[in-house]
Copies of this chain bind each other. A is one copy, B any other.
Amino acid sequence: MPLFDLAPEALETYLPQIDEPDDFDAFWSQTLGEARSVDLELRLEQVETGLALVHSYDVTFAGFGGHPIKAWLTRPADVTGPLPAVVQFLGYGGGRGLPVEHLAWANAGYVHLLMDTRGQGSRWGAGGHTGDPAGSGPAVPGYLTRGIGDPAEHYYRRVFTDAVRAVDAVRSLDDVDPTAVAVAGTSQGGGITLAVSGLVPGLRAVMPDVPFLCHYRRATEITGAMPYGEITQYLAVHRGEVERVFRTLSYLDGVSFARRADAPALFSVALMDTTCPPSTVYAAYNNYGARASDVVKDIEVYPFNQHEGGQAHQLTRQIGWLATLP
């Protein structure tokens, strides 16, 4: 795939002004308030993995609607805290898999929580274990158009709330330093990371890697690839719902969350990425921290990559960068 989006120089200054609903903050304030009115019911069960250097725990906590959300928590075996932590979110369609897959952050000395994405975890990898008890109106197979008719019913309202509660859960642990919690994720995980960045104050760091879930309208105009293509497919069938669909999505846009963020951030973007086109990533990056002052942010550019982005290079970069933060 060659370059297909704005020229690299134009991307660096691409600063679209996305429409936001007036009640954006009220919507999320109410949503999180309701979620936090339910007890976290945090449970950790240690699991036997054959790994001597780390301890792994099968975690359950109450997410949106009090629904049980699964996660793996992995931490250095013989270290006492309080420790810094990293909360990580997953790419589209995948699940938390098995503890042996996700060892880097614990090996780097962090308590690491990997949150399952509700209803997903069945398309690739070693599987997810969290259902989504909520149904939806007519929807394209996938997750982007579930509840597309109303932001209150949209799938990602639930997921973003789960993610906020995952941070709450980690912060509540005895051996975690609640002021030292970072969030990270790739693709969908990057989009969820952005949502958390705008919803949760006091994060140590925000690390969205080739993030999904940003600037939906442009995404549908510049790429036909899935999963943004689910929106296109939905609107190709439900021909009269264009305004309604984008209104719903305006409550869920990574660009709007990024504007509200104030923690240090390390993004990545791949210039040949047709899944999460670079202009949608830069839309979030260039708006990141717009409402704060002196926000530390940086973006790693992978000029010849598609959606795989930087992979282990970015992870190594994140480990190094995070260690430098005060």
Chain A interface (Cβ within 8 Å of chain B)? 1-3, 49-54, 76-77, 93, 95, 97-98, 100-101, 103-104, 106-109, 119-143, 145, 220-224, 232-240, 242, 272, 302-306, 308, 310-313, 315-316, 319-320, 323
Q: Are A125 and B239 in contact (CB under 8 A)?
A: no
Indicate whether A130 sits within 8 Å of B122 (C-beta atoms), given known contacts A98-B316, A100-B104.
no
Question: Judging by beta carbons under 8 Å apart, are A303 and B76 in contact?
Answer: no
In the bound assembly, the distance between CA atoms of A246 and B125 in angstroms comes to 21
Shortest Cβ gap from A123 to chain B (Å): 6
A122 touches B140 (CB 8 A): yes
Known contacts A51-B104, A104-B51, A108-B52; A239 and B136 CB within 8 A of each other: no
Residue picked from A1, A107, A126, most chain B C-beta under 10 Å: A107
Measured CA separation A268–B203 after assembly (Å): 43
Q: Which 5 A-B pairs have the closest CB atoms?
A: A131-B137, A235-B304, A141-B141, A133-B135, A50-B319
Do B304 and A236 touch across chains, with their CB atoms under 8 A apart?
A: yes
Residues of chain B within 8 A (CB-CB) of A224 are 1-2, 272
> Given A2-B221, A93-B141, A119-B135, list of 6 further CB < 8 A pairs?
A52-B109, A95-B237, A121-B237, A126-B312, A135-B135, A236-B305
How distant is the Cα of A121 from the Cα of B50 in the complex, in angstroms?
A: 30
Contact check, B234 vs A122: say whether CB atoms are below 8 A apart. Answer: yes
Closest chain-B Cβ to A136's Cβ sits at a distance in Å of 6
A60 CA to B125 CA, complexed, in Å: 32
A321 and chain B: residue at smallest CB distance: B50
The distance from the CB of A250 to the nearest CB of chain B, in whole angstroms, is: 17
Give the docked Cα–Cα distance between A101 and B316 (Å).
Answer: 9
Q: Of B126, B127, B221, which one neighbours A3 at CB under 8 angstroms?
A: B221
Question: Chain B residues with Cβ under 8 A from A119's Cβ?
Answer: 135-139
Residue of B nearest to A301 (CB): B239
Residue contact A237 to B126, C-beta cutoff 8 Å: yes
